[in-house]
Amino acid sequence: MKGKIFNAQEVQAILAGNKTMFREVINTKQSFIEPSEPYGKFPYQVRQKIFCKESFLQKLGSTQLPSGEHETFFTSSEVEYVANGAQERFVNPNAFISDYWKKRPAQHMKQKHSRLTLQIKEIRVERLHEISEKDAIAEGAEKIGYDADYGTFHRSPCGDYRTGFIVNWNATHKKPEEKWKANPWVWCVSFEVIK
């Protein structure tokens, strides 16, 4: 099963039932593109299941022989999720067996540690700027307003979800060609949570 990386805010929105769609920039620099697939191959298929990859903490530990000469490290299958507020910490650092919760980036999450499985419902292609208010809500965006006096964005009941999406998009996409201003072509993927 294929995995898809989501940040902590997106995971929280999925868990709350507020995120049912994501966008992914289309790689237009592919070496070949079929005439029947002008945007390249679809990265997902309708009804395909994918697992959610998110930042997590994994329990690690070490044991020391009584002589103090050898240490054995082990990795546990126990995990905690950063989206739930988990933080790195030691458990019994002075004990014979010491446990440590180490933060792991989302790309290292294996399927067995994932708590969310998503099923693709629909895929379409559009320019990033074409996002509607309805799609911004499905993206899990918050209402964000712009204060012209201070030149800042803030949460506001008078704001709109599309602005919230734009702020989040620019915060999570660092490459200039992927920013809102570049208006890249994107895959628009709708999904439902099945686990």
- The string of pLDDT tens digits covering residues 94-148 is 555 556 778 889 999 999 999 999 999 999 999 999 999 999 999 999 998 777 6
Q: What confidence category does residue 32 fall into, taking pLDDT thresholds of 50, 70 and 90? A: very low
- The string of pLDDT tens digits covering residues 143-154 is 987 776 666 777
Q: Report how far apart, in Å, the C-alpha atoms of 43 and of each of 47, 70, 79 are.
A: 13, 47, 28
Q: Using CA atoms of 133, 25, 123, 114 in order, give the dihedral in degrees to the nearest 10.
A: -100
The answer to whether residue 70 scores a pLDDT higher than 80 is: no
CA–CA dist 114, 4 (Å, integer): 11
Higher pLDDT, 161 or 78: 161
CATH of domain 2-52+117-193: 2.30.130.30
Which structure tokens are listed for 41?
Answer: 């191959």
The ranges assigned to domains in the chain are 2-52+117-193, 56-104
pLDDT, residue 46, reads: 96
- The string of pLDDT tens digits covering residues 36-48 is 565 567 889 999 9
